[in-house]
Amino acid sequence: MLPLLRSALAVVLVASALPAAALAPPPVPLVQDTRQMIVVTTDGWDATQGSLQAYTYADAKGWQAEGEPFAVAVGRNGSAWGVGLRPNPTDEGAQQPGDPIKQEGDGRSPAGMFFLGTAFGYAAKADTALPYQPMLASSYCMDVPDSKYYNRIVDAEVVGAEAVEGSTEPMRLDLHNKGDVRYREGFVIEHNPGGKAGKGSCIFAHLWRTPGEATAGCTAMQPEHMRALLKWLDPAQKPIFVLLPRAQYHRLQGPWALPTLPPQSEAAR
């Protein structure tokens, strides 16, 4: 009996030495049935560079890093609170006094938590399970706040040339801007899905032309990373996109049931 008692005592002692977080069950995602998350973190509201880490959720283990973190570029003026799944009126303390708020044309990427929309690109099809929309010479994303198509990708051949007047977002940038590759591959980040006028529009993850080039409010990366994300993303897993400055991320990690950032994310900056 003594060896058995010693073994039992050893188990108790080891368990008591573990931190409470190690004994607690993993946090349940805020969005029901979400099993994939893309997390972008930056050094602060005005930072134009960030680190992207993908995560997969397992019931027994919680959020697990998927691959290694990598560098991305965000808005030329940094980031600002956007309109999405989070923050919302129940998120007490998420938005602090003085925090920037996303507005049309401010050059900031929306911060918060968002669903993903369709994938898009110049090719007729792509290696992704996301719904895919090939872009045409007549495809535009409407960034005109008083347009009834605000924050939507439309085809001028369908809605009429007058309906897209004023848009600064032709989706075939290669045809409209001397071979521009940025929208060759990408996906929609569902910021401001209700199309509230002036709150920001046409927010994507897309390619960068040169490494680290800041955006008008999107998240940009190199082609091999985009291809890997598109191949990995699965709409059946209800993927979500999170972008936050690190200080806000650490403050909201518990309330929003966010993954623990791996040490490698710092190396990707």
pLDDT tens sequence across 20-75 = 555 567 778 988 899 999 999 999 999 999 999 999 999 889 999 999 999 999 99
Judge residue 21's burial from the number of C-beta atoms within 10 Å of its C-beta, 0-12 exposed, 13-18 middle, 19 or more buried: exposed
Indicate if the pLDDT at residue 4 is higher than 80. Answer: no
Q: What is the pLDDT of residue 25?
A: 74
Give the type of residue at 122: Y
In terms of pLDDT, which residue wins out, 14 or 125?
Answer: 125
Write the single-letter amino acid at 217.
G
Q: Please spell the DSSP secondary structure of the chain, one letter per residue.
A: -HHHHHHHHHHHHHHHHS-HHHHSPPPPPSSTT--EEEEEEESSTT--EEEEEEEEEETTTEEEEEEEEEEEE-BTTBEEE-SSSBS-TT-TTSSPTT--B--TTS--EEEEEEEEEEEEESSS--S-SS-EEE--TTEEE---TTSTTTT-EEEHHHH-GGGGTT---BS-HHHHTTT--TTSEEEEE-SSTT--TTS----EEEE-SSTT--BSSSEEE-HHHHHHHHHH--GGG--EEEEEEHHHHHHHTTTTTPPPPPTHHHHT-
The two tokens of residue 52 are 């992207």
From CA 49, how far away is CA 132, in angstroms rounded?
27
Question: What phi, psi does 2 have (nearest 5°)?
Answer: -60, -45
pLDDT score for 7: 47
Q: Are 94 and 249 in contact (CB under 8 A)?
A: no
Predicted local confidence at residue 267, as pLDDT: 43
Which has the higher per-residue pLDDT, 254 or 27?
254
Whole-angstrom distance, CA of residue 24 vs CA of residue 259? 15
Each residue's pLDDT tens digit, 82-101: 999 999 988 988 999 999 99
Query: How far apart are the C-alpha atoms of 187 and 230, rounded to whole Å?
Result: 8
Q: What's this model's pTM, rounded to 2 decimal places?
A: 0.89
Instruction: Answer whether residue 163 shows pLDDT above 50.
Output: yes
pLDDT number for residue 27 = 78
What is the per-residue pLDDT for 13?
A: 47
Q: What's the token pair of residue 23?
A: 């004994």
Lowest model confidence (mean pLDDT) among 9-23, 195-209, 224-238: 9-23
Between these two residues, 26 and 269, which has the higher pLDDT value? Answer: 26
Torsional sign, CA 147, 151, 157, 159: negative
Longest pairwise C-alpha distance within the chain = 87
Beta carbons of 93 and 219 less than 8 angstroms apart: no
User: What rounded mean pLDDT belongs to the chain?
Assistant: 91
- Distance, first Cα to last Cα, the chain: 56
Mean pLDDT of 161-182: 96
Res 205: pLDDT: 98
pLDDT of 168 reads 94
Please report which confidence band the pLDDT of residue 10 belongs to, taking 50, 70 and 90 as the band edges. Answer: very low
Per-residue model confidence (pLDDT) at position 108: 98
What is the distance between the alpha carbons of residues 199 and 24, in angstroms, rounded to a whole number? 39
Cα torsion for 87, 93, 96, 101, to the nearest 10°? 10
